[in-house]
Amino acid sequence: MRTAKGFEINTPAFMPVGTQATVKTLSPQDVLKAGAEIILCNTYHLYLRPGHKLIEELGGLHKFMNWEKPILTDSGGFQVFSLKGLVKITDSGVKFQSHLDGSSHFITPELAVEIQESLGSDIIMCFDEPAGYPSDLDYLKKASDRTTLWAERCKNAKKNDMAALFGITQGGTNPALREQSAKEIVSIGFDGYAMGGLSVGESASLMLDMVEVTEKFLPENKPRYLMGVGTPEDIVGAVGRGVDLFDCVMPTRNARNGALFTSRGRVNIRNAIHARDASPLDPECPCETCTGYSRAYLRHLFMADELLALRLNTLHNITYYQRLMSRIREEISKGTYASFMDGFLNHSPQGED
């Protein structure tokens, strides 16, 4: 996958989440060392603080955060709608109160595009209305119809030819609505297509069923992005169903809670079993955490509430995800992905609670 600025992104790819123009606890150089080729930043948060116009005045988001590779910005829809009682939705847009100071704001599809273009994003997302799980059929249809309406307005509002615009399909866990939404969004015509409104409370198997329903109606020659997913198992299963791009806070959030992904299963570094363990976290991992520090030291840092624990844990988890994506790409190129997927999903060690 190539951006308009000439950057190559090897897919399938996982995008670390840099909500407020930073991947929590890591420097951009750390993220690069981990192997990431693209990151995600959050439109809603950057619009509220420090403001998209300020970032534009300072040279754009890449310069602002010292990240020279591609950036995808989500539209902010998920964050806005998660405010629940602070939100009023109409076909015109969404009125909401800031979670920071209670100030009132009104975001339209046009403004969502304007914000992302001001930030200088390489990939911008259409403003959409994600539905939670479970949702009744009437609301799912209204949200899906409004998403289509807003997608048309986003496409008409886009001005920057150097940014790709992705449409977002909705429909919740209703197969018929998923099909309808995909057909409508594809008929508008976008540079890539995302599956939204999944991984919001439904089971992993139901989520993958909806991916399977949706992907058959998406163009094979355009990137397919499954938003907000997920666990390593979710990613491996979704790649097997044709997905190219992923993002999720799981590797960073879990790291800050002491939950670490390794080639030998998941590790809870808080467990007392690691107190005297001089071995590396993952002997197969080349990251700074695994090559420089023991499990005993990592546990000590975490139990002592030392900030270094958060950085080392996060660096490892991001590296794990990037190495997983590299392995996925390798298996696809060899034509052995089906057997790899079976082994990963059915025969991998589960690790600690």
Can the peptide bond before residue 50 be classed as cis, meaning omega within 30 degrees of 0?
Answer: yes
Which tokens go with 341?
């997927």
> β-pairing, 259-260 with 13-15?
unpaired
Which tokens go with 299?
């546990």
Among 30, 74, 244, 282, the one annotated catalytic: 74
Among 30, 122, 128, 247, the one annotated catalytic: 247
Can the peptide bond before residue 134 be classed as cis, meaning omega within 30 degrees of 0?
Answer: yes
Q: CA-CA distance, 320 to 317, in Å (whole number)?
A: 5
Contact 36, 17 (CB under 8 A): no
* DSSP per-residue letters across 271-303: SGGGTT--SBS-TT--SHHHHH-BHHHHHHHHH
277 is known as an active-site residue = no
247 is known as an active-site residue = yes
Identity (one letter) of the amino acid at 13? A
Which residues participate in catalysis according to the annotation? 74, 247
